[in-house]
Chains A and B, each alone.
Chain A
Amino acid sequence: MIIPPDRLGRRLAKDRLGVNIMAGATLLVFLAFLSFVVLLIVKSRLIVFRYSLPELLLSSRWDPVNHTFGFFPSILGTFIVTLLSMAIAIPVSLLTAIYISEYLPKRTGKYLSSFIDVLAGIPSVVFGLCMLLVFVPLVAELAQRWFGIETTGMCILTAAITLSIMVFPIIVSLAVESLQALPREMRETSLSLGSTRWQMVKKVLLKGAGPGIISAILLGFGRALGETMAVAMVIGSRNTLPDSLFSAGQTLPSLIVSSFGEMMSVPEDQSALVFVALVLFLLVTVTNVSAKTVNNRLRKKWRY
Chain B
Amino acid sequence: MKYLEEKVMQFLMIGSTLVIVGSLFFIFIVTLYRGGGTIIRQPGIILAAPGPRYLLGGGGGFGHAILGSLAMAIPATLLSSLLAILIAVYLQPDYSPPRVSGMIRSFLDILWGTPSIVYGIFVLTVLVFFHQRGSVMAGIIALTFLELPIITRYIDESLTAAPRDLKEIAYSMGLTRLEVFRILLKYSASGLVAGILIGLGRALGDAASVIFTTGTASTIPKGLFSSATALPVIIFQQANSFYPSVRDHAYAAGVFLITLILALNLFSRFLQQKISRYRIQESK
Contact = CB atoms under 8 A, between A and B. Distances in A.
Asked if A and B bind, the verdict is yes
Interface of A: 3, 11-12, 14-15, 18-19, 21-23, 25-26, 28-30, 32-33, 36, 39-40, 43, 91-93, 95-96, 98-100, 103, 112, 115-116, 118-119, 121-130, 132-134, 165, 168-169, 172, 195-199, 219, 222-223, 225-229, 232-233, 253, 256-257, 260, 264, 270, 273-274, 277, 280-281, 284-285, 287-289, 292
Interface stretch (B37-45, B157-165, B253-261): B253-261
B29 to A, nearest CB: 9
A196 B3 contact: yes
B262 interface: yes
Given A22-B86, A23-B90, A285-B113, A123 B177 contact: no
Given A99-B14, A121-B201, 13 more contacts: A23-B90, A36-B122, A95-B12, A118-B265, A119-B24, A123-B207, A125-B254, A129-B254, A226-B114, A228-B115, A228-B207, A257-B208, A289-B110
A223 B115 CA distance: 8
A196 B265 contact: no
Interface string B23-42: 11111101100100000000
A17 to B, nearest CB: 8
Interface stretch (B55-63, B220-228, B234-242, B274-282): B234-242
B239 A128 contact: yes
A233 B106 contact: no
Contacts of A289: 106, 110
Contact of A233 (B21, B24, B239, B257): B239
B31 A130 contact: yes
Contact of B177 (A18, A115, A195): A18
A122 B239 contact: no
B87 A22 contact: yes
Contact of B235 (A12, A129, A199, A292): A129
A292 B128 CA distance: 35
Contacts of B13: 95-96, 98-99, 103
Contact of A198 (B10, B17, B201, B211): B10
A223 B31 CA distance: 23
A168 B23 CA distance: 10
Given A165-B27, A233-B240, A284 B20 contact: no
Interface of B: 2-3, 5-6, 9-10, 12-17, 19-21, 23-28, 30-31, 34, 83, 86-87, 89-91, 95, 104, 106-107, 109-111, 113-119, 121-122, 124-126, 128, 145, 148, 174, 176-179, 201, 204-208, 211-212, 232, 235-236, 239-240, 247, 250-251, 254, 257-258, 261-262, 265-266
A26 B212 CA distance: 27
Given A126-B31, A168-B24, A277 B14 contact: no
28 contacts: A11-B176, A14-B178, A26-B104, A29-B83, A30-B104, A39-B126, A40-B122, A40-B125, A95-B15, A96-B20, A100-B17, A119-B25, A121-B205, A123-B207, A125-B239, A126-B27, A130-B30, A168-B20, A168-B23, A169-B20, A199-B5, A229-B207, A232-B236, A253-B208, A270-B125, A273-B121, A280-B117, A292-B106
B114 A281 contact: yes
A115 B21 contact: yes
B50 to A, nearest CB: 18
Contacts of B118: 40, 226, 277, 280-281
A98 B87 CA distance: 37
A225 B247 CA distance: 27
A22 B89 contact: yes
Contacts of B10: 99, 103, 198
A133 B87 CA distance: 43
A132 B236 CA distance: 10
Contacts of A112: 17, 21
Given A92-B19, A95-B12, A122 B258 contact: yes
A22 B104 CA distance: 13
Most buried by A among B34, B91, B201, B239: B239
B26 to A, nearest CB: 7
Contacts of B28: 119, 122
B261 A123 contact: yes
A256 B121 contact: yes
B176 to A, nearest CB: 4
A247 B245 CA distance: 28
Contacts of B211: 257, 260
Contact of B95 (A22, A32, A127, A198): A22
Would you list the 5 A-B pairs with minimal beta carbon distance, nearest first?
Answer: A226-B115, A123-B205, A99-B13, A288-B113, A25-B86
